């Protein structure tokens, strides 16, 4: 069973909004055993939408659209769907009641535009949007579209179009609670389905890794596909099968791979580094704090992104200014004068300082030059010192992330390096 996503909105095509919806939807479709074939972003434009629908239906059984369902003039998706499926808008009393309920504490939001939200295409099946005013519409496609250029595609079985709002949290709740269960029921859950296994590696170049595992990769059965996904210094190595191999077969291959990569392996599932670290700390009932200079709260934001992080993550002090490093974190003035803020001694004192201040088992500190300004010949942009304080002592390491990288990449590399080494230190303790 094959699906495509069409995201509708001019904002995507002028770069005002990053399409984060598609990746999220792709994950949910994959988990449900539905292959996602293509993602297409189109303008809020009648002809463009009609053509994209036709092209998508020529390749896929299910087309999911997001966007263009708001109450304002630039939102035309509902009208175009009516044209494509040759139907008209009618009032829906259930959607009407839901919208009245949704806005009962904000009656001023009920107006002539909101009222257009309970007009729905007559031939569509309506699924509730629990958290928003735009209903989710399901169309069944058993005849051709309206364009002259329609292609001949199989009419074996019904094809489905699901139109959802583009607001991410509305789309997510709609997908999880309505759309995926609906599609699974209507189309029958396929057995086997898609299986992915991901290993996360750090500290090896992509091409070196590829050569190191070449023999193993060449011996893979045709039913399995290997992909290399490098990002911020971490390589995700993903082995996939699309219904042609069993979980056992893929796990056997993964076990055979491990001896080739054990020096670089940091996790055997595709989790954010902060989740791996969080799980380690939760299992051990230990705690951590951070003191950040160049990473400026990014390490904290990463650690906090996990629900339940307050059980193990005590907090951060972001201290740009030397006086704050001194007063809050207890870094020695002599250290700052003699060694500078970006130095082994300073970053160790920062880590030890915040570990004592927040009474934690572990602490990570960062101090570096994220650029684009502030570099010197002996400490060029990209120089980052990181320290890890533990119950057994403190270790520090100097990284050089600067070659041709921007501020954003440098801080992201520093966060990655900080988390990876903390995972390794706790893992071996």
Of 264-293, binders to a copy of itself (CB under 8 A) are 270, 292
C-alpha 309/C-alpha 393 separation (Å) is: 24
When the beta carbons of 24 and 182 are compared against a copy of itself, the nearer one is: 24
Q: Which of 236, 282, 339, 424 binds a copy of itself (CB under 8 A)?
A: 236
CB of 354 to a copy of itself, least distance (A): 10
> Which position has the token pair 């599932």?
269
Q: Which is nearer to a copy of itself, 32 or 120 (CB)?
A: 32
Contact 110, 153 (CB under 8 A): no
Smallest separation, CB 155 to a copy of itself (Å): 21
Asked whether position 109 contacts a copy of itself by CB under 8 A, the answer is yes
Q: Which stretches does DSSP call E strand in 165-287? A: 194-202, 225-231, 234-242, 265-267
Least separation, in Å, of the C-beta of 219 and a copy of itself?
Answer: 13
- If the CB atoms of residues 142 and 328 are measured against a copy of itself, the closer one turns out to be 328
For the CB of residue 269, give the shortest distance to a copy of itself in the complex, in Å: 12
Which residue among 79, 87, 89, 114 contacts a copy of itself (CB under 8 A)? Answer: 114
- Output the smallest distance, CB 45 to a copy of itself, in A: 9
Stated length of the chain: 429
26 binds a copy of itself (CB under 8 A): yes
Query: Segment 181-210, which members bind a copy of itself (CB under 8 A)?
Result: 194, 196, 198, 205-208, 210
Strands (DSSP E) along 185-310, which ranges?
194-202, 225-231, 234-242, 265-267, 288-292
Site string for a copy of itself, 69-98 (x = CB under 8 A): -xxxxx------------------------
Q: Among the candidate windows 87-95, 232-240, 331-339, 381-389, which touches a copy of itself by CB under 8 A?
A: 232-240
For residue 228, state whether it binds a copy of itself (rule: CB under 8 A): yes
Q: Is the peptide bond before 184 cis (omega within 30 degrees of 0)?
A: no
Closest CA to 180 of 127, 142, 141, 113: 127
**Residue from 130, 258, 284, 333 binding a copy of itself (CB under 8 A):** 130
Distance CA 171, CA 300 (A): 28
Pick one of 147, 180, 226, 265: the residue that binds a copy of itself (CB under 8 A).
Answer: 226
Sole binder of a copy of itself in the list 12, 50, 64, 426 (CB under 8 A): 12
CA 216 vs. chain centroid, Å, equals 30
Which two structure tokens, joined as six digits, stand for 168?
């991410």
Q: Sheet with 194-202: list strands edge to edge.
A: 225-231, 234-242, 194-202, 265-267
Part in contact with a copy of itself (CB under 8 A); list of ranges 246-254, 345-353, 398-406, 416-424: 398-406
Tokens 């893992």 identify what position? Answer: 427
Residue from 303, 343, 301 nearest 322 by CA: 343
Of the two residues 147 and 357, which places its CB atom closer to a copy of itself in the complex? 357
48 in contact with a copy of itself (CB under 8 A):
yes
**What SS3 class is residue 345?**
helix
Q: Which of 30, 43, 42 is nearest to 6 (CA)?
A: 42
Question: Are 82 and 121 contacting, i.e. CB atoms less than 8 angstroms apart?
Answer: yes
Q: Which one of residues 123, 184, 332, 409 is an interface residue with a copy of itself (CB under 8 A)?
A: 409
Kindly state whether residue 172 participates in binding a copy of itself, applying the rule CB under 8 A: yes
Rounded Cα distance, 4 and 148, in Å: 22
- Which residue number, 48 or 140, has a Cβ lying nearer to a copy of itself? 48
Contact flag: residue 322 with a copy of itself (CB under 8 A): no
Give the one residue of 372, 376, 391, 429 binding a copy of itself; rule: CB under 8 A.
Answer: 372
Gap between the terminal Cα atoms of the chain = 47
Q: How far is the CB of 150 from a copy of itself (least distance, A)?
A: 15
Q: Is 177 in the site for a copy of itself (CB under 8 A)?
A: no
Cβ atoms of residues 133 and 106 within 8 Å: no
């Amino acid at each position: 069973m094959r699906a495509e996503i069409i995201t509708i909105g001019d904002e995507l095509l002028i770069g005002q909004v990053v399409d984060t919806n598609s990746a999220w939807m792709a994950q949910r479709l994959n988990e449900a055993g539905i292959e996602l074939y293509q993602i297409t972003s189109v303008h809020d434009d009648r002809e463009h939408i009609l053509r994209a629908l036709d092209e998508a239906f020529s390749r896929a059984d299910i087309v999911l659209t997001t966007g263009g369902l708001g109450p304002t003039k630039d939102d035309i998706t509902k009208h175009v769907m009516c044209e494509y499926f040759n139907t008209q808008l009618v009032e829906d009393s259930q959607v009407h009641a839901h919208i009245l309920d949704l806005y009962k504490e904000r009656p001023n939001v009920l107006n002539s535009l909101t009222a257009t939200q309970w007009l729905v295409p007559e031939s569509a099946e309506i699924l509730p949007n629990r958290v928003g005013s735009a209903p989710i519409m399901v169309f069944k496609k058993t005849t051709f579209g309206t364009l002259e250029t329609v292609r001949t595609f199989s009419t074996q079985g019904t094809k489905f179009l699901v139109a959802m709002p583009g607001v991410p949290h509305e789309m997510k709740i709609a997908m999880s609670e309505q759309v995926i269960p609906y599609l699974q029921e209507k189309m029958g859950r396929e057995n086997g389905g898609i299986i992915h296994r991901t290993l996360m590696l750090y500290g090896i170049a992509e091409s070196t890794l590829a050569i190191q595992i070449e023999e193993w990769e060449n011996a893979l059965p045709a039913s399995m596909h290997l992909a290399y996904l490098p990002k911020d210094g971490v390589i995700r190595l993903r082995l996939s099968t699309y219904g042609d191999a069993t979980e056992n077969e893929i796990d056997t291959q993964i076990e055979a791979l491990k001896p080739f990569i054990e020096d670089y392996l940091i996790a055997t599932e595709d989790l954010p580094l902060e989740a791996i670290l969080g799980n380690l700390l939760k299992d051990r009932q230990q705690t951590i704090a951070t003191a950040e200079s160049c990473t400026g709260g990014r390490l904290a934001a990463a650690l906090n992104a996990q629900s339940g992080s307050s059980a193990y993550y005590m907090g951060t002090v972001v201290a740009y200014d030397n006086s704050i490093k001194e007063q809050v974190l207890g870094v020695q003035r002599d250290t700052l004068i003699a060694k500078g803020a970006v130095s082994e001694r300073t970053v160790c004192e920062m880590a030890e300082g915040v570990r004592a201040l927040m009474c934690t088992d572990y602490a990570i500190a960062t101090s570096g030059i994220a650029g684009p300004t502030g570099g010197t010949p002996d400490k060029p942009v990209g120089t980052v010192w990181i320290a890890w304080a533990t119950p057994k002592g403190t270790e520090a390491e100097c990284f050089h992330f600067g070659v041709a990288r921007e501020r954003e990449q440098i801080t992201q590399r520093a966060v990655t390096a900080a988390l990876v080494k903390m995972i390794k230190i706790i893992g071996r303790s």
